[in-house]
Amino acid sequence: MMVLDIPADQDPLAGVEAKIRQAPSFFESAPLVLDLHDVAERSDVDLETVAGRLEELGFVPVGIQNGSDEQNAAALALGLCPFPLWRSGRQRPEREGRPGKNATPSDQRRRAGDNGADADDGPVAALLVKQPVRSGQRYYARGRDLVAAAPVSPGAELIADGHVHVYGPLRGRALAGVHGDTGARIFCQSLEAELVSIAGAYRVRDDIDDALIGKPAQIYLNKQERIVIDSLVRSHR
């Protein structure tokens, strides 16, 4: 789920409306957790008002994290779930078998396979989608790559912890490396996407060069972790 940090010294929703204007369909009905790390010592945080404003913007507030006991009680009264501290990533415990900091993205993907297998059990097969992906459909390849061998319609969504390959027009949304794999890429035969995202960084249709629309393309992050979209030129022999 998305996490919204509540700042201590400015409007809690500062910048949120601008993000929505960039990709309105991406944030529509998105579940959201409020992180109160920076305001946990304050008693004047009006969770009801903040949650109401988020609902007006189309979000679905579901809980808080890093709140005080008083804030947790207030959240429960509003129907919001107080999540444990570690879910914020600030106090996340180490778990046995968890990849270390020096583990490669491919190591992490192998360890995160749907069947819970270790890396020694061999590579995890990509999720293969053979039929057209229609508007409103969503496919998520947890711990592996996603391969779509058919067109992806507007309003459809492809999500993968690894790479995303589309052997046809990509007209919906494609999100690769959603668990933070900055080495993930998106490949498609015809780039017509509403939104593309790598490890949380994203571009919407209006931010994509018109010269790339309808062309084979690959999307990845550069060293500055900014989205790069390159054309894929077929070689002729």
Number of Cβ atoms within 10 Å of the Cβ of 146:
25
133 and 71 assigned to the same domain? no
Q: Which residues span the domain enclosing 138?
A: 109-231
83 and 131 assigned to the same domain? no
Domain boundary among 39, 57, 88: 88
140 and 214 assigned to the same domain? yes
The band of 122, judged by pLDDT with boundaries at 50, 70 and 90, is low
67 and 28 assigned to the same domain? yes
CA distance 49 to 78: 11
Number of Cβ atoms within 10 Å of the Cβ of 198:
27
- Is 29 domain-assigned? yes
pLDDT digits over 149-205, tens only? 999 999 899 999 899 999 999 999 999 988 888 999 999 999 999 889 898 788 888
113 and 225 assigned to the same domain? yes
Q: Range with the lowest mean pLDDT among 83-87, 100-104, 172-176? A: 100-104
67 and 125 assigned to the same domain? no
Can you give the pLDDT at residue 170?
Answer: 96
**Average confidence (pLDDT) over 113-135:** 68
82 and 134 assigned to the same domain? no
The band of 8, judged by pLDDT with boundaries at 50, 70 and 90, is confident
- Is 101 domain-assigned? no
The band of 104, judged by pLDDT with boundaries at 50, 70 and 90, is very low
Spatial CA neighbour of 162 closest among 216, 123, 190, 133: 123
64 and 141 assigned to the same domain? no
122 and 9 assigned to the same domain? no
Report in angstroms the alpha-carbon separations of 129 from 46, 62, 134, 137, 150: 45, 31, 12, 12, 7
Specify the CATH number for the domain of residue 153: 2.160.20.70
- Is 9 domain-assigned? yes
Domain count within the chain: 2
The band of 22, judged by pLDDT with boundaries at 50, 70 and 90, is low
Specify the CATH number for the domain of residue 58: 3.30.70.260
Its pTM surpasses 0.85: no
Q: Range with the lowest mean pLDDT among 15-24, 40-49, 80-89? A: 80-89
12 and 57 assigned to the same domain? yes
65 and 158 assigned to the same domain? no
CA distance 124 to 115: 9
The band of 116, judged by pLDDT with boundaries at 50, 70 and 90, is very low
* CA atoms in the 13 A half-sphere facing the CB of 32: 23
Is residue 133's pLDDT more than 90? yes
Task: Judge residue 44's burial from the number of C-beta atoms within 10 Å of its C-beta, 0-12 exposed, 13-18 middle, 19 or more buried.
Answer: exposed
Q: What percentage of residues in the chain have a pLDDT greater than 90?
A: 28
- Is 20 domain-assigned? yes
